[in-house]
């Protein structure tokens, strides 16, 4: 695969505002807002976070709190996944960073500048969840239009459009009208448009929505290459298996709050264990789960609540000494789906939290009002 990032020289001393921010200075929700910056913390490699949020909130009229003091860090050159149930506030958070939705409060930085700093948007690529292109444009024209809005010179944006069409495997359809495209094809063109300005940070809201399994794998490969070339990728997706395969770190958003954040290994550390499956019943010195195999034989799974191989070896030796037939030995940890379900489940009642945002303390959860497609 050819390099995805390219030189977009010719912008001038200051790059223009990203096309997705054009015309967004007016907001339907006119609440007072607070936007302040925070000191730039350094990451393990001495890099300042690409996204460093310490207190981001959004309160809609009627007391609906879509976001409640979001704290989140995304480091440079990583793929970061944001997941949560419908109405958790994922798209609202992305739109606040892109200045599409006005926050009630936003303390933090994006690419070192305060949240809401318009010129910084020129360094960001953005694929909205429900993006729309005019049906009369071709895929090539749509990408070139976004390049023009980003201030890329004509010759370079034509070259860039051809490069991105090849990378997203849309070259054969490049000169056909978007009105003839499938949903998955529109997603591919949307991804290309988000990358046309060669951004330092790209925010992708449900990038594989409507894409078939082959296309999802190809998009994953593109994201991995973006990371390899030094770009920071922020993913918002419902497809937990997709996030698990590509993300360096994840955050789980529940009812407008970050329930957990970290690498999958960090978040699943307490659940890591070994499971040993043997034929027959459990030995008298250990308990296990019994089940009947496909051949009708009795099998038992012994659970060792430790991820350390040194603690597993003595058990294996003892089983062998007793002539037990070992079927399998496997390390086990929670999946991202397990983490997600644990985060959205009330530990006291065992029931899943209601979808949507909260309407103040002690009130039922409720989705925020729709404002021209905004959340």
Mean pLDDT confidence for 312-340 = 91
pLDDT of 163 > 90? The answer is: yes
pLDDT of residue 357: 62
pLDDT of 372 > 70? The answer is: no
CA distance 63 to 57: 12
CA distance 88 to 256: 5
Closest CA to 57 of 363, 366, 357: 357
**Cα 223–chain centre separation:** 11
pLDDT of residue 269: 85
CA distance 293 to 270: 29
Mean pLDDT confidence for 58-77 = 92
Confidence bin at 36 (pLDDT 50/70/90):
very low
Residue 168: burial class (beta carbons within 10 Å; 0-12, 13-18, 19+): buried
Mean pLDDT of the chain: 83
Q: pTM of the predicted model, to two decimals?
A: 0.77
Mean pLDDT confidence for 232-248 = 89
**Cα 267–chain centre separation:** 16
Mean pLDDT confidence for 327-336 = 90
CA distance 37 to 51: 12
Residue 101: burial class (beta carbons within 10 Å; 0-12, 13-18, 19+): buried
pLDDT of 44 > 60? The answer is: no
pLDDT of 362 > 60? The answer is: no
Which H or E run contains 253? strand 249-254
């Amino acid at each position: 695969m050819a390099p995805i990032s390219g030189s977009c020289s010719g912008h001038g001393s200051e790059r223009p505002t990203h096309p997705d921010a054009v015309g967004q200075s007016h907001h339907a929700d006119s609440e007072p807002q607070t936007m302040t910056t925070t000191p730039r913390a350094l990451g393990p490699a001495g890099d300042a976070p690409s996204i460093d949020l310490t207190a981001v909130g959004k309160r809609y009229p009627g007391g609906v709190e879509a976001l409640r003091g979001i704290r989140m860090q995304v480091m440079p050159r990583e793929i970061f996944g944001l997941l949560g149930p419908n109405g958790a506030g994922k798209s609202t958070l992305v739109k606040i960073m892109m200045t599409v939705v006005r926050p009630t409060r936003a303390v933090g930085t994006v690419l070192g500048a305060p949240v809401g700093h318009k010129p910084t948007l020129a360094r960001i690529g953005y694929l909205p969840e429900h993006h729309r292109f005019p049906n009369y444009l071709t895929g090539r024209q749509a990408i070139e239009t976004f390049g023009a809005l980003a201030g890329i010179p004509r010759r370079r944006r034509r070259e860039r459009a051809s490069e991105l069409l090849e990378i997203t495997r849309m070259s054969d359809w490049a000169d056909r009208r978007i009105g003839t495209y499938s949903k998955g094809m529109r997603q591919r063109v949307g991804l290309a448009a988000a990358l046309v300005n060669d951004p330092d940070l790209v925010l992708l809201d449900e990038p594989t929505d409507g894409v078939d399994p082959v296309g999802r794998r190809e998009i994953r490969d593109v994201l991995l290459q973006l990371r390899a070339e030094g770009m920071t990728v922020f993913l918002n997706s419902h497809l937990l298996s997709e996030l698990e395969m590509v993300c360096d770190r994840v955050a789980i958003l529940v009812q407008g709050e970050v329930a957990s954040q970290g690498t999958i290994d960090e978040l699943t550390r307490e659940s890591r264990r070994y499971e040993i499956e043997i034929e027959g019943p459990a030995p008298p010195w250990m308990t296990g789960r019994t089940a009947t195999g496909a051949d009708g034989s009795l099998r038992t799974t012994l659970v060792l609540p430790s991820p350390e191989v040194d603690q597993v070896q003595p058990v294996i030796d003892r089983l062998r000494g007793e002539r037990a037939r070992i079927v399998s030995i496997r390390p086990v940890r929670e999946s991202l789906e397990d983490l997600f379900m644990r985060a959205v489940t009330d530990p006291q009642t065992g029931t899943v939290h209601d979808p949507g945002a909260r309407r103040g303390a002690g009130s039922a959860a409720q989705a925020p009002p729709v404002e021209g497609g905004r959340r």
